[in-house]
Amino acid sequence: MDDECIPRLIEDRLREMTGFNRKVIHWQLRRRTLELGQRTLVMGIVNITPDSFSDGGRFLDPEAAIEHGLRLLDEGADLLDLGAESTRPGSSAVSAYGPALSTEEEQARLLPVLEGILRERPDAVISVDTYKAATARAALMAGAEIVNDVSGLGWDAEMARACAEARCGVVLMHTRGRPEEWGSQLPLGPDEMLATVREGLSASMTKAVAAGIPLESIVLDPGYGFGKRFEENYFLLARQAELLELGRPLLAGVSRKSFLGRTLAPLHGGSDAPVGARETASLAAMTAAILKGASIVRVHAARQAAEAARIADAVMAGG
């Protein structure tokens, strides 16, 4: 090997290991663009559900959800992700018998909150967490800019066309199987897990582009906790930067996930840490995700996340 190549190979390997290869990219949304990569963007979660694993029922009332969304913006969230149907592990959100929540009920929960937030903050950037094309269309008509599809366009054949027609921003997430299957899936090793996620995200991108969704509108989400066993999430997080090879920015959602609770078990008498005791672990995992190339982080606690993200960004700038 040419001696001059060695420093360059070492530099490339260090970038791969640390994630210091996050590029500045403009994400094309429906009515505007967002700059990604210069500074980590914080996406605040608003669960308008009775059964989400973290805060189910707390914001089911529209006024409570609107107030919560506005508070997240005030605390440093750059954009909000509104979801009206839980896809927590073990849920029957998309079973062989069809969706657990009707499109009509999902929209009845979602649209008043979306409209209420935009009434108070017309410039707010709103994402809708849905896999249903009809709900995506209704939310986009009501002012949403982004569709965050946990199925990566896989659970509703009309979703790709709906997003293409609206020219909105799209988050394509990797999900392995359906929620009711996650507890019985065979384990995967580190290489298998990374390959599975990379191939799944690539397939979703191919479907999106074929439907007319521009690459400039796509962000990718590895899907932590969605069909990944506890340790498999760490395999994925450790090598997340390799997914940047797909050419699109990454969004990471690790906030309060169960794999963090399992890791904290020795500090909680051998039982998984309850959801309310996972915030510090969430910040640690989120910081790791940023250092491994994530441009957007999806979080429950905006103020703490915004502060931690600033420090992670400063570390990357120093690198």
C-alpha separations of 111 from 91, 100, 291, 293, 314 in Å: 23, 19, 35, 33, 37
Helix spans in 59-131 (H): 62-74, 103-120
Instruction: State the number of CA atoms in the 13 A half-sphere of 10 facing the CB.
Output: 5
Amino acid at 227: G
Is 298 known to be catalytic?
Answer: yes
Are the beta carbons of 126 and 119 closer than 8 angstroms? Answer: no
Q: How far apart are CA 231 and CA 248, in angstroms?
A: 25
Residue 100 DSSP class: S
**Nearest C-alpha neighbor of 234 from the set 272, 281, 177, 296:** 281
Q: Please tell me the distance from the alpha carbon of residue 185 to that of residue 306, in angstroms, as a whole number.
A: 35
How remote is the C-alpha of 319 from its chain's centroid? 26
Residue from 88, 176, 257, 278 carrying the catalytic annotation: 257
Which positions are catalytic?
257, 298
